[in-house]
Structure 1
Amino acid sequence: MTDMLFDAATLAAAVAGRKMSAVAVARESLDRIQAYAAVQPAVWIARVAEEKVLSMAARADARVAAGERLPLAGVPFAIKDNIDLAGIETTAACPTFAYTPSRSAEVVDRLIAAGAIPIGKTNLDQFATGLNGTRSPYGAPACVFNRAYVSGGSSSGSSVAVAAGLVAFALGTDTAGSGRVPAAFNGLVGMKPTKGRWSTTGLVPACRSLDCITVLAQSIADARLIDRVVAGFDPTDAYSRPREERPLAARSIGVPLPHQRLFLGDAAAERLYERALETLAATGADLVEVDIEPLREAAALLYNGPWVAERTAATEALLDDQPEAIDPAVREILEGGRSVSGVDVFRGQYRLAELQRIADAMWQSLDLLALPTAPTIYRIAEMRAAPIALNSNLGLYTNFVNLLDMAALALPAGWRDNGTGFGITLIGPAWTDVALLAAGEAYLAAAHIPPQPALDMEGRMETVKLAVVGAHLEGMPLHWQLSSRKARLIEATTTAPTYKLFAMANSTPPKPALIHVGAEGAAIAVEVYELDVAAFGSFVVEVPAPLAIGSVTLSDGTVVKGFVAEPRAIEGARDITVLGGWRAYIETLAA
């Protein structure tokens, strides 16, 4: 792959300014796809023939030469395979369901008219039912930075195609978070517009009354550019609405109450979310804690309430005639809709109306919400072992948005040590799309997010960071247990100021006990090493009681694995906290 900038705004400007040809851009995209196919073969379900791609690119060059102003001149893009592209099969990741449309979806037509070049159809969770990307007979696209982990879904292939730099942007869809979760895991911007802002003509329905076509892009500028091209009323779409624009001051930002900030044990996600809130506060926003329980109740209506029947309605014929053609996890969800009665539907509508009033009242005192996009991420193997429960966890902060008629913008917020992305989502009332883009731009300008990790091209080795505090420090008697396992020193640092250090009695060689005590503690010197998972496992089995391996918080808020101790470790021990670390204590013994 070359180092050519592959974002929509840059490419369109270069082609429109005749500094680069659309044909050259198309060839670059095709070359990148070919090179990446060996890394992730599950990105695409169908591709536009190469000669057709180059022909369309040549046509874009001719239009530019004739003086046409094309906002997306020569920009290659991907289309989630539940959105129609004329002449190419639409499968929704179910071969039995496949059909070949004679015309493209309205949004696709608008993009092509603006000069964009469709490259192909991307993989997805079957019938857009899932947030993880593993529910497809065409394979499971993985996070581009660590292929042991899910890409997020259901717009899995679209997110990978953009994050890997194969195309400049991609269309996804979002009913319950399908365009936001994969954006978070792969470090992208995911714009979920207000319902009806973008036409859904030519979209295979998941929940017809809630579905939105979305964009996954490298930047706010690209998302804004795509919105300008495709937004607008479509009389052929029964759910299309005349476009409005609602301003936002973006000064008052709602965040969950502390006990509602759930990360399911993902300490890195928790830390990155708190940093994102600090960034928002630094931009001058007022962070207001709000009770998000009414939003969660609305979210429950989607899969645990009557709206699941709307998914069933979209696939009922296939479910009746060929249920074996449907992914087992998807089929289990769809079958659940059969037991929903008309009474259930009306009761659900009544409760949703009440929750809508609560949400409307919330917007009287708030400009927007800033929530985690997803509480955590899972390995592909983990997701396959518990496909329903773990997938549900990924929708903790996303499922309510369309039910309550909100707009949302997923933004990158940093990286876990394993390379996977964490993101936040800015959420506003309907028609705040443009204002959310501006707010997102301000956040990203202030966030100073580290550069994205390198693409995982060979299978990233799983590693663990381990903080050592005593006999395993470099130069100490047990350091060989790390060096023999090829542990790599990451940094010498200190813990958070919440620990006490004790010299254990009758320990050979002398060993310390690190105890978390909270506000009465101090910062203790540690060294942080990185080991591969197998080496870490073999190390842990050799740790003798009363010591143990737990989680240790470092001075910068990072949580790593490290030595902790059982209460009995301090029986007869000497409190050496005041010395600040084990080396200082050993020096006092030598003196």
Structure 2
Amino acid sequence: MSVSAGATAVRRGQISAVEVISSALDRSESSQDTLNTYTLIDREGALERAEIIDEMAARGQDPGPLAGVPIALKDLIDQAGLPTTCGSGFYERISDRSATVVERLEAAGAVIIGRTGLHEFAYGFSSENHWFGPVRNPWDTQTSPGGSSGGSAVAVAAGLAAAAIGTDTGGSVRVPAGMCGIVGLKVTHGRVPLTGVFPLALSLDTVGPLGRSVEDVALLYAALAGHDPNDPWSAPRPVPTPGEVPPDLSGIRIGLPYPWISDAPTTPGVATAFATAIDRISDAGAIITALQAPALIPSPHGGSIVGGEAAKVHRPWFGKQPYGPAVAERLRTAFEVTIDQYIDALEWTAKLRNATAAVFQDVDLLMTPTVAATRKVIGEPTIDGIPYRRVLSWFSSLVNHIGVPALSVPLRAPGTPPPSLQLVAPWWAEKRLFAVGRALETLGIATFSAPPIP
């Protein structure tokens, strides 16, 4: 059942929120030993919230557009009265106030059923956590779901929650969406508030939804987006309502950026699925153009931005508190970033954004694979001999440095999971992503396939 259909059924009294939430909690608890999706499942709090929603519906009050929808929440987003661990062995904060995004979800009637596992402090792409153990992909439990929002993606793909919330600093919503075969949205930087969200690199951090369809993700986005005066990064811009779904893709101008695509460490299965998708999208009326955009290519400068900002966040604890070995090594490197390197990286970012603005004068969207590979074995540091972070972040991290929105949708293609497609839009053009993404689903080019959950 979709998010919209489920919420409508609860609002009309066709099913109770308590029934919906109890079922989601049961599935979450029974799969925990196999998938390790959560750091905490909040049965008591979720059922209390569901009872309130049912009482509102019984009185004829509208509980909201997300009434009774079970949501999984990444465990670095504050939820009043519950611990935020960030997947850490030492950090645990119990806030007396929820993050702005949690307040907005609950105001819309959503019910948060649990806090999901992640890469420690969101500083990685595998969700293999030294303290909580690895989150496991429901397509193959010997493989990673990607990261850092791995638990959020698993909750959605495995049907434990109707949708989930993650964060994306270099691909941490889109990478796990692509590796679990679901839909994930990276919003324009500043579109969704960061108040109450533990930072990785504030100039790049975003909060975004994951779901089984573009419509589901768009509904969550509508609840999340909008200005928050308590967040200095939040932009005071209006949020357009989603438009109609076009019957085809006639006239949509889509650019294929090279050498970003041609230089990627893409596996054969992903390359084949991407080529097939290009043909099908062209047949549906889109105008597809190969673009020479040499500025749009991953660079070590990106690591200087993330590292420099992560070092500032972790300065109070690093060297004094225990970190997992992999994240400790990344932070050691982060603390070596010099001010000159950081300023050089800012100059690179400015040039990158100017180049991207010029590209969007000629096309409506850019299109790439979401991830260059869909399978990363837990415990293995490489994919086909290449460091896994390079493989998994190739198509995602650049988007964060540009600051634009991007949508990952799973293709109707062979694979376990099937490869995914990334659509990249200009700044603030999430509405365009939803329209084209939903058209791809209507045309049968993109679709969610349920994994064979163990």
Q: Give the alignment's TM-score, normalised by structure 1.
A: 0.72
Please tell me whether the aligned partners of residues 266 and 376 of structure 1 are also in contact (alpha carbons under 8 angstroms).
Answer: yes
Deviates more, 1:347-356 or 1:25-34: 347-356
Which of 52, 63, 66 is residue 59 of structure 1 equivalent to? 52
Please tell me whether the aligned partners of residues 260 and 296 of structure 2 are also in contact (alpha carbons under 8 angstroms).
Answer: no
1:227-275: CA deviations, max 9, x gaps?
A: 1112110000010002246899971111134794356362111111111
Closer/same/farther in 2, CA of residues 351 and 257 from structure 1, 3 Å limit: closer
Please tell me whether the aligned partners of residues 193 and 408 of structure 1 are also in contact (alpha carbons under 8 angstroms).
Answer: yes
Structure 2 distance, partners of 1:65, 1:291, is 59
User: Whose RCO is larger (CA < 8 A, sep 6+)?
Assistant: 2
The alpha carbon displacement at 1:416 in A equals 4.4
User: Secondary structure in 2 aligned to 1:216?
Assistant: strand
Match of 1:583 in 2: none
User: Secondary structure in 2 aligned to 1:86?
Assistant: coil
User: Secondary structure in 2 aligned to 1:351?
Assistant: helix
Query: Counterparts in 2 of 1:137-148, with a 5 A limit?
Result: 137-148=131-142
Q: Sequence identity of aligned pairs in percent?
A: 31
Larger Rg: 1
Match of 2:182 in 1: 188
AA in 1 matched with 2:58: A
Match of 2:34 in 1: 39
Query: Counterparts in 2 of 1:89-128, with a 5 A limit?
Result: 89-128=83-122
Matched, 1:270 2:271: yes
Match of 1:133 in 2: 127
Structure 2 distance, partners of 1:385, 1:396, is 14
User: Secondary structure in 2 aligned to 1:339?
Assistant: coil
User: Secondary structure in 1 aligned to 2:453?
Assistant: coil
1:273-294: CA deviations, max 9, x gaps?
A: 1111112212211111113431
Please tell me whether the aligned partners of residues 178 and 374 of structure 2 are also in contact (alpha carbons under 8 angstroms).
Answer: no
Matched, 1:424 2:421: yes
Structure 2 distance, partners of 1:450, 1:102, is 40
Structure 2 distance, partners of 1:117, 1:85, is 12
Which of 157, 179, 204 is residue 210 of structure 1 equivalent to? 204
Closer/same/farther in 2, CA of residues 448 and 92 from structure 1, 3 Å limit: same
Match of 1:393 in 2: 391
1:535-589: CA deviations, max 9, x gaps?
A: xxxxxxxxxxxxxxxxxxxxxxxxxxxxxxxxxxxxxxxxxxxxxxxxxxxxxxx
Which of 157, 167, 174 is residue 173 of structure 1 equivalent to? 167
Please tell me whether the aligned partners of residues 269 and 375 of structure 1 are also in contact (alpha carbons under 8 angstroms).
Answer: yes
The alpha carbon displacement at 1:26 in A equals 1.0
The alpha carbon displacement at 1:37 in A equals 2.3
Which of 354, 359, 364 is residue 357 of structure 1 equivalent to? 354
| Unaligned 5+ runs, structure 1 | 458-591
Match of 1:26 in 2: 21
The alpha carbon displacement at 1:64 in A equals 1.9
Structure 1 distance, partners of 2:447, 2:183, is 15
The alpha carbon displacement at 1:447 in A equals 3.2
Match of 2:246 in 1: none
Deviates more, 1:8-17 or 1:375-384: 375-384
Please tell me whether the aligned partners of residues 86 and 100 of structure 1 are also in contact (alpha carbons under 8 angstroms).
Answer: yes
1:317-357: CA deviations, max 9, x gaps?
A: 221312xx212221222111222222222222122212221
Structure 2 distance, partners of 1:75, 1:306, is 37
The alpha carbon displacement at 1:98 in A equals 1.3
Closer/same/farther in 2, CA of residues 427 and 260 from structure 1, 3 Å limit: closer
The alpha carbon displacement at 1:383 in A equals 3.0
AA in 2 matched with 1:365: D
Structure 2 distance, partners of 1:160, 1:148, is 14
AA in 2 matched with 1:89: P
Match of 1:253 in 2: 254
Structure 1 distance, partners of 2:295, 2:445, is 33
Structure 2 distance, partners of 1:214, 1:451, is 18
1:181-234: CA deviations, max 9, x gaps?
A: 111111111011111111110100000111000111011111111111121100
Please tell me whether the aligned partners of residues 279 and 443 of structure 1 are also in contact (alpha carbons under 8 angstroms).
Answer: no
Structure 1 distance, partners of 2:225, 2:114, is 22
Please tell me whether the aligned partners of residues 273 and 372 of structure 1 are also in contact (alpha carbons under 8 angstroms).
Answer: yes
| Unaligned 5+ runs, structure 2 | 244-248
1:375-406: CA deviations, max 9, x gaps?
A: 11333245346899212211111111121121
Structure 1 distance, partners of 2:263, 2:374, is 13
Matched, 1:345 2:342: yes
Structure 1 distance, partners of 2:283, 2:379, is 37
Superposition CA RMSD, Å = 2.2
The alpha carbon displacement at 1:150 in A equals 1.2
Q: Give the alignment's TM-score, normalised by structure 2.
A: 0.93
The alpha carbon displacement at 1:136 in A equals 4.1
User: Secondary structure in 1 aligned to 2:353?
Assistant: helix
Query: Counterparts in 2 of 1:540-579, with a 5 A limit?
Result: none
Closer/same/farther in 2, CA of residues 249 and 138 from structure 1, 3 Å limit: farther
Please tell me whether the aligned partners of residues 249 and 367 of structure 1 are also in contact (alpha carbons under 8 angstroms).
Answer: no
Match of 1:243 in 2: 237
The alpha carbon displacement at 1:142 in A equals 1.9
Structure 2 distance, partners of 1:62, 1:259, is 53
AA in 1 matched with 2:281: L
Deviates more, 1:236-245 or 1:446-455: 446-455
Match of 2:9 in 1: 14
Closer/same/farther in 2, CA of residues 407 and 85 from structure 1, 3 Å limit: same
